[in-house]
Structure formats: structure tokens, C-alpha cells
Amino acid sequence: MGQLDGKVAIVTGGGSGIGKGIAKAFADEGCSVVIAARNAERLDAAAAQLSSGGATVISIPTDVTSEEQVASLFAKTMDQFGKLDVLVNNSGAFDGGPVEDLTMEQWNKVIDVNVTGPFLGSREAFRIMKKQGGGRIINIGSIAAQKPRHSSSPYTTSKHAVWGLTQSLALEGRDHGIAVSALHPGNVMVERRGDGKSATGRDEGPEPLISTEDMGRTALLMATLPPESNMLEAIVLPLGQAYLGRG
């Protein structure tokens, strides 16, 4: 018997990386999972792989920055399953570089995906979860919300905003049985290049990495707490990663 038998979850950015790892952890514990992302081909392949063992995993192509597409994602989920127990706002974008060289296109891309996306998803989830008497929302943040990396102004700003959104929604949700939390990853294997360079192109040198399975296990723990409990914030990073005092 799975820890999430009978539960329904939406995982954005579920076609790869952390989102796919979380979707697998949920599906392996009996949860029906809806994965959403813009890349329909990769999303369908992930759904087929995750459901090959008998789990219920469906894919709904969605641009999380589109109000209409996000509303459609939640409507289709409700049509299919009639409820929503967990939302994981995982879709993310990274861009950066010296601040004087950043364009509005770079800035808006990161803010739209990383901040507007979780807002739109959480708004739809609140509308459902208030009526059904509760639920959980897990926002995927980053250790950048506490300790920024060099030349990462858009990303760092967005993850500070995700943590602020999480706290605000946790306050709004607690009277309605809605637990809202943030999971902050450190360096995850799918998010780092093999040569150790960050997405800004700055050579950070080789760094230790954790797996998407580590993130999936943590998200599962957060999702399976008793309804009266909430893990408001979790930071998961490689033991050897420079975090405290990193520059």
C-alpha cells in the first residue's frame, strides 16, 4: 500500500529533471500524477516511462506563464480526477550574466516562469483546495533564495520572490487546511554542466551534485506529513557543496 494511494498531484516541469524525479516518487507511492510542461514530446515520453509499471501518470502540455493554459491544466485535472491533493510548482528558467549586460528579455523570461508561474498555479489550486477543505502546495525554490551565486540577478531575485510567495500563501492557506511550503535544492545533477560551469558561463570549477531521486524523496516526505503539519522550508544540497559563505 502506497503512502499516496488515492491522492492526485500536479507537477509542473514534470517532463525532466527535478520535476520528473518528484513525479516518479509520487507515482511509486500510488499517487495519480499530472505532469505539465511546454515540451509536449518530452512530456509524453516521461508520462509513458513513469506509467510503465502501472502508475497513473498523464501529460498535459502547458506554458505556466499563460493564464489560460494554467486554468485549462487545472480544469482538465478536475475533469479527470475530481480533486487535487498536491501541487508542485517546479517549472523553472535560469539566465544571468553581468547586470549591465542583461536584457529585458532575459529578465522577463526568468521572472515570468519562476514567479508568475507559481502564482498562477497556486491561485488555481487555492480555488480548488478551499472548496475541498485542504491540500498541499510545494514550491521549488533554490538555495539562491538565501545565498546568491555570482552574476545571477534574475534567478536570485526570482527565488527570493518564490520564498516570499510561499510564506504569504502559507499564511493565507492555514485557515483552510492548505499547507504551502518551499523546497530549496542545491546543485542537482540535471541542472549542472559536466565541466562545472554555471548557466552564466562563469567557471565555478567542479562541484558535488545530488540526484533528482534525492529531491523526489524530500518532496514525498513533505507531501505525506499529517494534514495538521507543514514542513515550511527544506534545503537539500550535497554535503560537500559550498553554501554557507559562498560567493
pLDDT at position 200 is 55
Above 90 in pLDDT, residue 109? yes
155 assigned to active site: yes
- Cβ atoms of 115 and 211 closer than 8 Å: no
Per-residue pLDDT, 241: 84
Which residues have C-beta within 8 Å of that of residue 47, sequence separation ≥ 6? Answer: 35, 57, 58, 59
- Is 101:147 a contact under the CB 8 Å cutoff? no
**Alpha helices, DSSP H only, in the chain?**
17-28, 40-50, 67-81, 104-111, 117-132, 153-173, 212-223
d(CA 171, CA 4): 25
Does residue 195 register a pLDDT over 70? no
Helices 153-173 and 117-132 pack at an angle, to 10 degrees, of 10
Question: Which among 26, 74, 94, 155 is annotated as catalytic?
Answer: 155
Q: What is the pLDDT of residues 3-45, one digit of tens each?
A: 999 999 999 999 999 999 999 999 999 999 999 999 999 999 9
Judge whether residue 119 has pLDDT over 80.
Answer: yes
Q: CA 52 to CA 63: how far, in whole Å?
A: 26
CB atoms within 10 A of CB 53: 10
pLDDT in tens, 71-91: 999 999 999 999 999 999 999
Sketch out the chain's domains with CATH numbers. 8-236 (3.40.50.720)
Residue predicted with more confidence, 243 or 60: 60
